[in-house]
């Protein structure tokens, strides 16, 4: 074999090795992971068993829930580090009993390694934590929500469950806060974090907007509220966490928010606090979820994320709607938030004289 032929052969071998390496890496990073098929089916006719609801023990007078939302961890490890630093500081400052994450933990530019790093970080706190999904969690081509949920469920301190397969979404579940074994508060984690198409009745044109709370989810929510009440002999107070705001939140801001020359809505003290740089992103139709909350008399607090630039909390017709303060510094155009950090929800006192206090902790921005 001539020297030239040997060189050409060497080049071919090198190219083949590099190509094989690229294919292997691409397979590891982008091969779709779907997880095991989800088969649990719920029916309103099935017997309710309160023992199947996971619990977090209340061990002191104040029960503290720290909410991180829209962390949107992505390919920029430096920005992810800043986000984790905010989270670390808030956990240290607030000493929570439970951490909730109402959506957009990851972004479309995340890899499957991002969720592993995130889980490892959350587990380091040694605190129970509960995520639900947002629209960006669903944009990672190789990581299905089903697979992501399995990763969360496997973590020691994560309370996430897949929930019934015949409800909208993946990850509808309940947590009972218990004192001496008795439920004193219920936490509903509800997945509403995707967009859907609607048809304009006047023009018959379709458009995309935030999805409404599913009718099956509402029936399942009612089944749980009534089941818990029957098991305990009383209506146990509750709050809900999901990604998108409810249409009533938008309605409340339009009705009571004070709009300035820059179209920013400030919430007057008699109704709440904070501001909305734009009206809450919510479904254009009401599916009856809030009406069901009012009817059952359990849920008085509804928390959401999604709209990074909004941090308002407003009480409207007996229910308080609150944005979690955006956590972390995800980039433009995803984020124009003036302030980032987290939100602390403190449940104080006995069930008969229970109070809920809501407070934003700004870690970066104008008022940090």
CA gap 192, 245 in Å, rounded = 9
Output the pLDDT for position 15: 59
pLDDT at 351 over 80: no
Give percent of the chain with pLDDT exceeding 70: 86
Domain edges within the chain = 1-31, 34-365
pLDDT in tens, 121-161: 999 999 999 999 999 888 876 678 888 999 999 999 999 99
Q: What is the pLDDT of residue 21?
A: 46
**pLDDT-derived band at 16, boundaries 50, 70, 90:** low
Q: Is the CATH code 1.10.260.40 the one for domain 34-365? A: no
pTM of the complete model: 0.90
pLDDT level of residue 177 (50, 70, 90 thresholds)? very high
Cβ–Cβ under 8 Å, residues 242 and 102: yes
Span 34-62, mean pLDDT?
A: 90
Mean pLDDT for all residues in the chain: 89
Instruction: Give tens-digit pLDDT for 214-248.
Output: 999 999 999 999 999 999 999 999 999 999 999 99
Which residues, at least 6 apart from 367, have a Cβ–Cβ distance to it below 8 Å? 339
Res. 288: pLDDT tops 50:
yes
Indicate the pLDDT class of residue 113, thresholds 50, 70 and 90: confident
Distant-in-sequence, close-in-space partners of 219: CB < 8 Å, separation ≥ 6: 44
């Amino acid at each position: 074999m001539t020297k030239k032929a040997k060189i050409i052969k060497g080049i071919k071998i090198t190219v083949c090795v590099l190509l094989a390496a690229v294919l292997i890496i691409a397979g590891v990073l982008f091969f779709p992971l779907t997880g095991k098929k989800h088969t649990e089916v719920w029916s309103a006719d099935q017997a309710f068993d309160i023992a199947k609801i996971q619990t977090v023990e209340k061990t002191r007078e104040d029960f503290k829930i720290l909410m991180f939302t829209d962390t949107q961890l992505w390919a920029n490890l430096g920005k992810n580090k800043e986000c984790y630093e905010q989270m670390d500081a808030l956990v240290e400052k607030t000493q929570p009993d439970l951490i909730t994450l109402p959506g957009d933990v990851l972004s479309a530019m995340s890899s499957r390694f991002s969720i592993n790093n995130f889980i490892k970080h959350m587990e380091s706190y040694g605190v129970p934590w509960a995520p639900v999904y947002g629209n960006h969690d669903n944009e990672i081509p190789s990581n299905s929500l089903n697979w992501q949920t399995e990763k969360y469920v496997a973590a020691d301190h994560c309370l996430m469950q897949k929930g019934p397969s015949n409800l909208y979404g993946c990850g509808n579940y309940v947590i009972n806060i218990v004192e001496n074994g008795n439920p004193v508060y219920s936490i509903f984690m509800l997945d509403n974090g995707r967009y859907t198409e609607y048809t304009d009745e006047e023009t018959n044109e379709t458009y995309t907007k935030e999805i409404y709370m599913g009718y099956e989810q509402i029936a399942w929510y009612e089944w749980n509220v009534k089941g818990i009440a029957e098991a305990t002999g009383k209506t146990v107070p509750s709050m809900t966490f999901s990604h998108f705001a409810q249409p009533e939140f938008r309605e409340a801001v339009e009705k009571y928010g004070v709009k300035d020359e820059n179209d920013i809505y400030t919430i007057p003290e008699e109704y709440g606090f904070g501001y909305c740089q734009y009206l809450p992103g919510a479904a254009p139709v009401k599916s009856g979820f809030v009406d069901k909350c009012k009817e059952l008399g359990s849920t008085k607090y509804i928390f959401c994320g999604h709209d990074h630039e909004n941090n308002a909390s407003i009480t409207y017709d007996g229910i308080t709607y609150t944005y979690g303060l955006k956590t972390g510094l995800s980039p433009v155009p995803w984020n124009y938030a003036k302030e980032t950090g987290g939100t602390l929800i403190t449940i104080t006192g006995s069930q008969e004289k229970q109070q809920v206090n809501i407070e934003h902790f700004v870690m970066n921005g104008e008022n940090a």
